Amino acid sequence: MRPIELTPLFASLQSLTGIGPRLILLMRKCVNLPAGITEPRVLDLLWHLPTGVVDRRAEPAIAEAVPGSIATLKVRVLKHKPPPRGNNRAPYKVQVEDDTGKLDLVFFHAERKFIERQLPVGEERYVSGRVERYSDKLQMSHPDYIVPPEARGDLPMLEPVYPLTAGLSGKIVQKATRQALERLRPVPEWQEATWIKARAWPDFSDALQRLHKPTDGADVSAGGAPWQRLAYDELLAGQIALALVRQNFKSRPGRIVKGDGSLRAKLADALPFALTNAQREAMREIEADMGAPRRMLRLLQGDVGSGKTVVALLAMAIAVEAGGQAALMAPTEVLARQHLETIGPLADKAGLRVGLLTGREKGRGRKDILDRLASGDIDIIIGTHALFQADVVFRDLAFAVIDEQHRFGVHQRLQLQSKGNGSGTDVLVMTATPIPRTLVMTHYGDLDVSRLTEKPPGRKPIVTKKIPTGKMEKLVERLRTQLADGAQVYWVCPLIESSEVSELAAAEERHAHLVQLFGKENVGLLHGGMQDKAKDAAMEAFSSGQLKILVATTVIEVGVNVPNANIMVIEHAERFGLAQLHQLRGRVGRGTRESYCMLLYKAPLGETAKARLEMMEETEDGFLIAEKDLELRGGGEVLGARQSGAPGFRVAEVPGFEALLTAARDDARLLLAADPMLASPRGQALRTLLYIFECDEAVRLFRAA
Ligand code: ADP
Ligand code: MG
C-alpha cells in the first residue's frame, strides 16, 4: 500500500484552490504525465520544474534604476493619466515617485477599473518589472507585480520561470505550485547519509522547495544540488525497480525448456539461407537460457534487417518441441501481420500451427482463436497487446517474444509473463534500437543481452547523401530515371512536433505534388490517421509493386518489409534523431538493387543536425550510430524514445547523467544484495521512494514472492 504521507501528492490537481476543469486542460498540455495517467495530479505539478528565474532582488531608488533591468521599486502614486478620449491606442499612464525621482507606469489596452483599484492616488506600493527609458523619462510598462506595503512578503524576489502553454500564466502555475508544496509531508531519508553529505545535497522536500521557491539562482539549475539530488532519486528508484523485477525473475524457479531439435531442423531446411554467425551465437545463448531451470529474460538487439525474426522463430520452435506454446507480440497491427507473413510459410513447412490475434480479430473468429489457444491447437500465436486481454488463456505458454521498438515497458513484460501457467514463462525482448550499453541498464536493468552485429550476407551498402531542399528538382529527375528502371521509393514526410494534424497536411501536400509529377496510379499515401483497411491496401499496393512511390508519415518506422524498395527519401531530415533516421533507412537495402537514402534538409543546418546527417553518410553500423547519438545528446534520453512516445524521465536528464546512473546502479546492486526484501530502515524508506516515482509494480513483487 502506498504510504499515507504520499496520499496528498496523488490527489488530482483539481483539489488545489483555483484549479478547475479549464486549467486542468491547460496543465495537461504542459506538464509531463507518466504513461497511462490522463488527469494531472499534485505530484505531476511538483515535477514540472522551472527553466530559470527572474531576479527581482534589485531594489534601487528611482534615480538609480538601470534601464533595461528588472527592479523592485517602492513608490507613491502621484496621479493617473488616462489616454485622451477617442484615442484607444494611447496607453494609460500612472505617475509614481519616490524621494529621488519620478517614473511612469504604462498600461496598454488597460482595464481602467483594475488600475484604479491597484494604484490609488497618494498610497504606497511596491512595483516590480522591467525599467525602461522612453525619450528622457523612466517608465515601467505592465509591472509584473503591484502590491501594497503589507503584502511585500508575497513578492517572489527570485521568481521561478516555468514552461507554459497558451492561456496558462506563470502566476497561475506558481500559485498552484506553492499549494502543492504545502502538501509535502515529512518522508524518511532513503539516501545514504555519507553520500548526500559528500555532495551537500538537500533532503527530498527541501530539494523541491528550493527548486520551486529558489533563494539563489543556482537552485534551479539542473547542475545544482537540489535538481541533482532529485535526479539521483529518480535513477535510484528506476534501478531498484528493475533489479527487483530481475531478482523476482531469478528467484522463482523457471522451467527447463529443452527440445529435440526436430522442428528446428525442419525450419533450417525450409530457410533459403544459412544462419549468420551472430544469429547462431544468439541461438546458443537463448537455448542455454531456456534449458536452464530458471527464468529467462534476455534482450535481443539488432538492426532492422539483421535477422531477429528468424532467431525468434527458431527459439519459439524450441518451446514447441518441448511441448509448450509460444507467443510473439508486436507493437502494431501492421508489424504483427508482417511477422505472420514471414513466419507463416516457414512454420507451415515445419508443421507448426500459427495463429494471429490483434484488435481486429472479433466475434466468431476471435473466439475460435481463443479456443484453439486454450486447447493447445495453436503452437505459435502472433499478435499485438490484444494478447494481454483477460480472456486470453493458453494451454501452456512456455516462451514469449516481445518485439519491442520502445512501445512496451516493464509492466507489459510482467503482464505477458503472467499468462504463463505459473511455472515461469521465458521471455525474449527484441529491439531494433541499438541502445548503447550504458543505456541498456537504465531501461532494461541488468539483463542478459544478445547482439546481432553482423548483417546477413549479400547486402549492398546503402548510399546515403544529404541534399538541401533547394535541390529537390534534381532529386526528382534522378528518381525518374530510377523509377524507369523498376525502383521503388519511400518518401517520408516531416516530423512536426506535437501536431498530428499538420504532419498529416504536410504528407497530403507532398503526395499531391508527387502525383502531379509521377501520376496518380504510381503514388500512394500512408499515414497514422488512416483506417486499417486503407492502410493495408496502400501497403499491399506498394508491396506488390503496383505503386512506385509511397508517401508516408513516420508510421512506416515501426517496420515494413518490401525488399524491392530501394530508395528512401526523408524530408526535413534535420528534424529527426539519429536513431530514427537509422531505422527509417533500414527499410531499404533489403533486396538485390543498389539502395539509396536521401536526406533532404532545410539549410542552414545547425551544428548538431549537421553532425547527425554526416554520421548517417559515414556509417550504417547501428551500434556506432547509437553511441554517437548519445554523445550528441549528452543526456539520458534513449534514442528516439521521445519521438515515439515512450515515457522518459521526469527529472533525471541532467548534466552528469551517466555518472549518476552508474552510481545508482551500483548502489541498487549493493543494497539489494544486503537487503533483498527492503526490510532494513533504509529499505523501508526506499519503498517510499519507489512509490513516489510510481514503481508500484516493483513493490508489489514482494507480496507476490
Ligand atoms: P529483423 O527482424 O532483424 O528486422 P528479419 O528477421 O526480418 O530482420 O530479416 C530481414 C531479412 O533478412 C529477411 O528477409 C530474412 O529472410 C533475411 N535473413 C535473415 N537471416 C538471414 C541470413 N542468415 N542470411 C540471409 N538472409 C537472412
Ligand atoms: Mg523483423
Structural domain ending residue among the three candidates 433, 452, 471? 452
Average pLDDT, stretch 287-299?
90
118 and 147 share one domain = yes
Note whether 306 and 385 are same-domain residues: yes
Domain of 467, in residue numbers: 462-619
pLDDT band at residue 438 using 50, 70 and 90 as cut-offs = low
Whether 657 maps to a domain, the answer reads no
pLDDT, tens digit (0-9, with 9 covering 90-100), for 251-272? 777 889 999 999 999 999 999 9
As for how many domains the chain has, the answer is 4
From the CA of 330, which ligand is nearest? 2
Bridge partners (DSSP) of residue 356 are 382
| Parallel/antiparallel/unpaired status of strands 488-492 and 565-570 | parallel
Ligand 1, atom nearest to 308 Cα: 3
- Within 6 Å (CB) of ligand 1, which residues are found? 273, 275-276, 279, 302, 304-310, 432, 456-457
Half-sphere exposure of 200 (CA within 13 A, CB side): 4
CA–CA dist 72, 56 (Å, integer): 6
CA 300 / ligand 1 centre spacing (Å): 14
As a whole number of angstroms, the distance between CA 135 and CA 580 comes to 53
Q: Which atom of ligand 1 is nearest to the CA of 309?
A: 6
Q: Is 700 a domain residue? A: no
DSSP 546: S
pLDDT tens digits for 360-395? Answer: 889 999 999 999 999 999 999 999 888 878 889 999
**Domain assignment present for 71:** yes
**Same-domain pairing of 198 and 128:** no
Q: What is the average pLDDT across 632-640? A: 46
DSSP per position, 361-390: --HHHHHHHHHHHHHT--SEEEESGGGGST
Q: What's the rounded mean pLDDT across residues 231-250?
A: 83
Nearest to 551 by CA among 488, 497, 602, 499: 488
This prediction's pTM: 0.62
Query: For residue 385, what is the domain's CATH number?
Result: 3.40.50.300
Q: pLDDT at residue 495 above 70?
A: no
What is the per-residue pLDDT across 569-582, written as a single tens digit (0 to 9) for each?
A: 999 898 888 878 88
Q: Quote the pLDDT of residue 639.
A: 34
Is 403 contained in some domain?
A: yes
The verdict on 468 and 447 lying in the same domain is no
CA of 35 to the centre of ligand 2 (A): 26
Mutate to test the pocket of ligand 1, among 309, 314, 340, 583 (most ligand atoms within 8 A of CB): 309
Q: Single out the residue in 133, 155, 177 at which a domain terminates.
A: 155
Does one domain contain both 168 and 209?
yes
What is the chain's Cα-based Rg? 30
Mutating to test ligand 1, I would choose from 275, 310, 564, 587 the residue with most ligand atoms within 8 A of its C-beta, which is: 310
List the residue whose alpha carbon is closest to atom 15 of ligand 1.
307
Residue 675 lies in a domain: no
Residue 61 — pLDDT band, cuts 50, 70, 90? Answer: very high
